[in-house]
Amino acid sequence: MTFYFTGTGNSYAAAIKLQQNLHGDLISITDCVQNGEFVFAPADDEPVGIVCPIYYGGLPSIVNEFLEKVQFENAPSYLFGVLTYGGMMMGAGWRLEQKVKKAGLQLSAVFGVKMPANFAILYEPPHEDAAKPILEASEKRLDVIAEKIRDRECVKEGAGIAEIALSTANYPTYDRSRVTAPFYVNDKCVSCGVCARRCPVKAIEMVDGKPTWVLEKCVFCMSCVRCGAIQYGNKLEGRYRYRHPVFRKKKHCCKKKDTAEVE
């Protein structure tokens, strides 16, 4: 049983790769939060995983919400996290463990997977040619991680003293940064409504045929930014918008499908 959250596809692709190796259900955290589904019953000795990206050295806000509400009828005997990142883990593994402890659960292992960076608001994401070797390395890395999970290895990556210090210093910035006021659409918008359907917290609504941000804060997942019509102040103008190639493939078979993964 693997729970995942994704914005531009990195963590979704990682979750699919793990499922191919480990089998079990693949469950969207976005769907769980939107539908109020938080109670699960993993089979005896079934590994249970959380797969998500690292934001500012910590977890996406929607993943925090999910971990605060999730309940297991059978406590997982092996609970693992797989965290995707563009730069470094920055203590996110430690932060995940603290969140899990508050939920009354024990985290057995945390693994990090480097993926193409996607935070176009701050920097230019790698184009396809530059992203290709990173993605190829991530595939091999996920095979290794799957083997460690099968062997029930207890590895805690991203929990060193220096990494924890980085997370402590940087993560508070995440909550201050994820404001929606600077978002707008330019004249390239065709009123398709895909951005509104993609948004994991329904921060976007279509008003008079145009996307309108109706919440003060969002997850800051860059899912909507995959569309070139969406801007954020002057920070996205002329900048490449990254999405994992998994979003250019056919749908994958899984228990729950995040609406963001249809396009």
Query: Which 8-state DSSP code applies to residue 5?
Result: -
Q: What's the pLDDT at 233?
A: 95
Give the pLDDT of residue 36: 96
Amino acid found at 212: T
CA angle 68, 22, 113 (to 5 degrees): 65
Give pLDDT, residue 231. Answer: 95
Give the C-alpha separation, 126 to 243, whole Å. 10
The rounded distance, in Å, linking the Cα atoms of 32 and 38 is: 6
Looking at the DSSP bridge assignments, the partners of residue 27 are 3
Q: Which two three-digit tokens encode residue 16?
A: 């699919």
- Residues 30, 258 contacting (CB under 8 angstroms): yes
CB 257 within 8 A of CB 220: no
Question: Would you state the pLDDT for residue 74?
Answer: 87
Cα of 99 vs its chain's centroid, Å: 16
In this prediction, the residues of the chain whose per-residue pLDDT falls under 50 are 250-263
Please state, in angstroms and rounded to a whole number, the distance separating the CA atoms of residues 124 and 131: 12
pTM over 0.85? The answer is yes
Predicted pLDDT of residue 256: 43
Q: Please name each of the domains of the chain with its CATH number.
A: 2-173 (3.40.50.360), 178-232 (3.30.70.20)
pLDDT at res. 97: 95
